[in-house]
Chain A
Amino acid sequence: MNISKIELENFRQYRGKINLEFDTDSKKNIVIILGVNGAGKSNLYNAITWCLYGVEEHSKHRDGALKRLNESKRNDMKTEAYANVNVKITFSGRSPLIVERKQLFVKTATGGLYEQPDEHKVWFLKDGNWKPSNQPSATVNAMLPEGIRKFFFFDGEQLDDFFKPGLQGKGKIEKAINDVSGVDVIDKTVEHLEVVERRLRRSGSKSSPELEIIQKKMNDLQIDMDERKVEITDKKKQASFLDIEIEKCESIVKTFPVKEISAYQKDREGLDKDLKLLNEELDKNKLERIEKIVDNGPYVFARKAYLKSKQTIDDATDSGQLPPQIRGTFVKELLDGGHCICGMDIEHEGPHRKKVEGYLRDAKWSMVDQAAIDLKWKFDTRIAKVSSTSKELLEIGRKISEYEARLEEKQMALKEISEKLKNVDSEEIVRVEKNRNDFSKQKSKIGNTLAILKSQQNEGMAEMKDLKDELNTEMRKYQQLEVTSKKMDLAASALEVLQTLRNEYISEVRDSISSNTDKYFKELIWKKKEYNEVVIDEDFDLQVFNKFNNNVKLDLSAGERQVLALSFMSALKDITGYEAPVIIDTPMGRISKKPKDNIAECLPRYLKDTQLILLVTDSEYTSSVKEKLDKRTANRYKLSFNENTSATSVVTI
């Protein structure tokens, strides 16, 4: 799907009718729209998003719809005259479309401007004829859903949001991955199935007072859980806000022009990284200890009994009450095979065979013997297991103590840095450090509250499951509720399965985006040896590891961040499967010369089957960038803003 034509009329700085036509040659997939700042690139971008979705991303905080009408046109209008703002986009490809959005403005008798609601129209090609769509928004969304259009139409300079510290960045990455995964159909199914399951439960529970009591408990619990969910989201937001404030404070210290002071912050970052790793190791070992205790606990408790039982069997064996450890089946096999383990022939009657038959006879005399031999072997194994587990637990305990001691040491070092910063000869740093500590304390409190809330939520979920089981058991007592109970069972089981599968699917999508982002970043970045890996972890945190395996995401330069953002966007686009054009406003604004050339070479390759419309400034579209893009460039336009007419003109270059 490519844009073959954009028609503008009186849209912001575009006065009158202006057409931009694009060739749609698959080998030449790039369109260059060149203009200095203020020439009208962003408003062309706005025109596209307004026409398709009714929103102007770049102007939503600046001005309202009134200014959508070209200013000079507005001034020239006589009283009661009207003027149209119109944007029309023609798409070619497998499913051609024409999308138009129009708005009428009338100059009132008092000289004001009256705006009519905008009108959205879409036509699609059927049997060689253009037919109007009854659902224009739905048709546009079918081409490219609004939820994911930001991964196709975006401002290169505003991509930093993805990499902000704390939940803000993580939240955006998670949302982007969910949006492009197309999992919303599954989410809708989950949401609807939950409602239906609750309805079934409510309908069944009206049949008896006992059922009503359980249902009431479930309702109350659900209200608590919903409230807690809101509280958790709220606390996470607060924590995210504090993360950003802490980051700001630390950034001030880090960039402070006194070397001694900025060094403190660098030391602190190193200590923070160490603390994170130590905490991870500590958690891992604590978990391992718990697992070992749970797995081997019963054997440890039974150790004395094992030892006593083993001794009893040994005593019985020594006194001849039990045969040696030869199993009857083994002796029988020897007799059937005709060869003893010593090599004697026992196939035929004779003293040797007789002796072995004696063993069999003795071994046969009690099943208890067989069981005792088996048990003795099992007791030996378990006693050995208890002994090795004890040693392993001691070793884990030793490691835990060591990690705890190192943690304490690092925490002390962090405190010392903070104390030093509180006493430096700079009022600003003293104040910033105080603020940072206040924010950290608040964050720590929020962290504790969150942990409690999450634990309560887990308990609530477990309680809800018990109540559902209780309700089901109770319902089965009533014959008339048998069907409802079965329905509830099926709905609840299906819901559980679907939620699990949905999470598995999202994990796979996340892994794929993570590996493609890593691949693109390594190709695009100019410091090839500096970076080791880009990873999006299970928590949707995007991390960039350098050659020393330190996460340096927050230390990337503006240009490197833009490269990271372009890599991430390309990886997201790969996943969507949509064939819509990609429009980037200021794709290389912050990137210096060499990386620009690299991007100019790589980006069209990543997007080779996609129309790529680049809104660029002169400083981005350098002669070497032009040279690299030329082979694939279908059209070039230049936007020029004329201050006398307050209007932008478009020329082919």
Chain B
Amino acid sequence: MIEDTVQAVTKQIRDKISKADVNENIKQLLIELIQFEMRNMHKEGNKYTKDYEKMIQELI
């Protein structure tokens, strides 16, 4: 159920990201980062730096 709500929130943010007047790579990165956080929202002490850097690396 929480996923439904969070998905609704992130959908709205995703829509905002898609409509934003910014570079496509920024949009792509933001969507990937939010999806990553959603997948890991219940994990405690979640390690993220390597994943973040990897996502950034792939989009530069």
Contacts and interface: CB of A to CB of B under 8 A. Distances in A.
Contacts of A491: 56
A183 B59 CA distance: 25
A493 B49 contact: no
Interface string B19-48: 010110110011001100110011000001
Contact of B10 (A142, A185, A493): A185
Contacts of A185: 6, 9-10, 34, 37-38, 41
Given A196-B53, A501-B20, A576 B5 contact: yes
A412 B7 CA distance: 56
Interface in A116-174: 135, 138, 141-143, 145
B33 A143 contact: no
Best-surrounded residue of A183, A188, A487 (most CB of chain B within 10 A): A188
Interface of A: 1, 94-95, 135, 138, 141-143, 145, 181-183, 185-186, 188-189, 192-193, 195-196, 199-200, 483, 486-487, 490-491, 493-494, 497-498, 501-502, 504-505, 576-579
A486 B60 CA distance: 6
A199 B49 CA distance: 9
B6 A196 contact: no
Given A183-B9, A196-B56, 6 more contacts: A145-B2, A192-B52, A196-B52, A490-B26, A494-B26, A497-B30
A195 B20 CA distance: 24
Nearest to A142: B2
B9 A487 contact: no
Given A493-B26, A501-B17, A181 B9 contact: yes
B31 to A, nearest CB: 10
Interface of B: 1-6, 8-10, 12-13, 16-17, 20, 22-23, 25-26, 29-30, 33-34, 37-38, 41-42, 48-49, 52-53, 56-57, 59-60
Given A490-B25, A494-B29, A135 B42 contact: yes
A200 B12 CA distance: 29
Q: Is the interface of A mostly helix, strand, loop or mixed?
A: helix
A576 B22 CA distance: 29
Contacts of B2: 141-143, 145, 578
Contacts of B57: 483, 487
B56 A487 contact: yes
Q: Is the interface of B mostly helix, strand, loop or mixed?
A: helix
A124 B2 CA distance: 15
A504 B22 contact: no
A414 B52 CA distance: 58
Nearest to B49: A196
B34 A186 contact: yes
B16 A505 contact: yes
A200 B16 CA distance: 27
B13 A577 contact: no
B43 to A, nearest CB: 9
A497 B13 CA distance: 11
A142 B1 contact: yes
Contacts of A181: 9
A192 B22 CA distance: 21
B28 to A, nearest CB: 9
Given A135-B42, A497-B26, A189 B53 contact: no
A145 B6 CA distance: 11
Contacts of B23: 493
B26 A186 contact: no
Nearest to B28: A494
Best-surrounded residue of A199, A494, A578 (most CB of chain B within 10 A): A494
Contact of A494 (B3, B16, B30): B30
A502 B13 contact: yes
A487 B57 CA distance: 7
A269 to B, nearest CB: 41
A491 B9 CA distance: 22
A94 B1 contact: yes
B60 A200 contact: no
A365 B30 CA distance: 59
A189 B42 contact: no
